[in-house]
Amino acid sequence: MATTWWVLAALGVALVWAVWVFNGLVQRRNRIANAFGQIDVQLKRRHDLVPNLVEVAKRYLAHEAATLEAVTRARGAAVSAAGSVRQQPADAQALAQLAVAEAALAGSLGRLMVVAEAYPELKADATMRSLGEELTSTENRIGFARQAYNDEALAYNDAAARFPDLVVARLLGFLPATMLQATQSEAERQAPRVAF
Amino acid sequence: MRIFEHQDAARSRTLRLVLLFILAVAATAAAVHAALWLCWQLLDALLPLELGLPHRFLAVNIGVTLLLVLGGWWIETSNLALPGGTERLLRRIGAREARPGSSAAEQRLCNIVEEVCIAAHMPCPEVMVLPRVQAINALAAGLDPAASVVVVTQGALDWLTRDELQGLVAHECSHIHEGDTRLNTQLAGMVTGLELVWRFGDQVRERGGLAVLFGSAIMAMGSFGWWAGRALQAAVARQRELLADARAVQWTRSRDGLGGVLRKALTQQQQSAAGAAGTDPAWKPVLQHLLLVSGAAERGGWLAAHPPLALRIQRLYGRAMPALPLQADGAATQPADLTPATA
């Protein structure tokens, strides 16, 4: 009889521990979702900024229509890729497309800023200076949001791989979170250079 | 810089120091009792009367001492804990809220605060500016992380590059994130409480006669507690500065940002020592422990709230680095729109 009570007590403790680990993992997984949402918010900020930037630049860059068009086109592609990801958040292909589209947008914005360097009137334009600051800030925010996502993913993966929590994680299907990879090329790694 | 090791070391040292602080308060109460007991025994020996110890001598001595310490702590902290208490204090020293719409530098500052808060996963604090202070400095205040304030001087806005300002803001946000502002206020409250013990002794002494003996004993022990408390509070503050430096590097992934701030502050400190810069503002001693850079730091010693700048720079870079010359950052001083920047 005493043995039965001991077994029941041990099972009770194990159950409480499992619930505790489960809640911890769910909390960490939610934080990852939240961090991912933050990246989306910042990408949208970049998308919203681009039309204003192009509008102001257009007044001064009459001979750089191709550059401006490339920025607008890249923005369109990025907005539509972001839309697909919002509809299918777990789709790895949509995520990859978004990464490519965002890298292209960052690249074309960088080229626009390099071109703008050669136009002193554009550089002196107060609205352009303000937009330049907003763009720099947005690029930083995207970078920090990615960094924050990776920090959360690392904390979750660590928690799910630690013994004995690992047992609960495996049994209840807590899969490892994917870390965002650093962009591949040197040009992509450079945030658009804004020097106003 | 091994940022995570530095952070762990700073945290465990803080814990040890806080425990020592609690011990110092207990030791002060015990010392007051011991001193009064000695005085009583002395009187007993010198006077021809059979005095005997008063009823509940130990409980009263310890109780009154702790009541003074905790009362002082409560008065000091409850002032700041009132809604808007921190903001009122900051307004009294001349701070005002940042105006991103009217100044490019302040637009940049507000953006940077939001960027760092994304990196730190924390709610954005209120942003304020000290417009008449040319020294590169900043402070974080507020007992609750959700209602905290980051204050940056005009000097920091004028002399720092964007990356440097980011390092500075990250350092201040670390103080909020790690609860340093709350810890500092609690310790400062306790130090005030320990000072009350000294004052109580002084009041007792003023009564004259035999009270001079007892009052002096209380004053001596209160003074011991006060100095020990101040030294430990400063030691905790120095550890939190090092922790905030490491946090700033972690969040910004750059040591040159904060490194540049400290090296430029070093330049200003050297100029100030040479008499080239103005004197410190009157509020500086009051908020010394909250600032990024304290003038008293270079004097070092037990009561400095900050480690010397040279030491902090050395920890950031792993070697000594020279001071950086000050150069106005043109990008920040240009107005964002047609409204001129107000400073």
Which residue ranges form the domains of chain B, and what is each CATH number? 14-82+185-228 (no CATH), 85-181+237-329 (3.30.2010.10)
ipTM above 0.90, yes or no: no
Pairwise CA distance, residues B136 & B282, whole Å? 16
CATH code for the domain defined by A37-155: 1.20.1440.20
State residue B280's pLDDT score.
Answer: 56
Residue A101: pLDDT over 50: yes
Q: Which residues of B touch A152 (CB under 8 A)?
A: 121
Per-residue confidence (pLDDT) for residue A190, from 0 to 100? 43
Chain B residues close to A117, C-beta within 8 Å: none
At residue A110, what is the residue type?
Answer: G
| Mean per-residue pLDDT of chain A | 82
pLDDT of residue A90: 64
Q: Is the pLDDT of residue A196 over 60?
A: no
Q: Which two tokens stand for residue B229?
A: 């408390």
B274-278 CB contacts, 8 Å cutoff, 24+ apart: B277/B134, B277/B135, B278/B134
Using one digit for the tens of pLDDT, what is the confidence trace for B266-279? 888 888 776 655 55
What is the overall mean pLDDT for chain B?
A: 83
Shortest CA distance from B101: residue in chain A: A130
Q: How much of chain B, in percent, has pLDDT values that exceed 90?
A: 27
Task: At B328, give phi and psi (nearest 5°).
Answer: -60, 135
| Cβ contact A69:A62 at 8 Å | no
User: Would an 8 Å CB–CB cutoff place B335 in contact with chain A?
Assistant: yes
- A144/B251 touch (CB, cutoff 8 Å), yes or no: yes
Of A38, A136, A141, the CB nearest to B162: A136
Q: What percent of chain A has pLDDT over 70?
A: 90
Mutation site, A144, A149, A151, A189, interface B, largest B CB count within 10 A: A144
Of the listed ranges A102-111, A130-139, B108-117, B265-274, the least confidently predicted one is B265-274
Q: Can you give the pLDDT at residue A193?
A: 40
Split at pLDDT 50, 70, 90, the class of B23 is very high
Write out the H or E segment, with its range, that includes residue A87.
Answer: helix A65-87
Give which of B118, B157, B164 to mutate to test A binding, by max A Cβ within 10 Å: B118
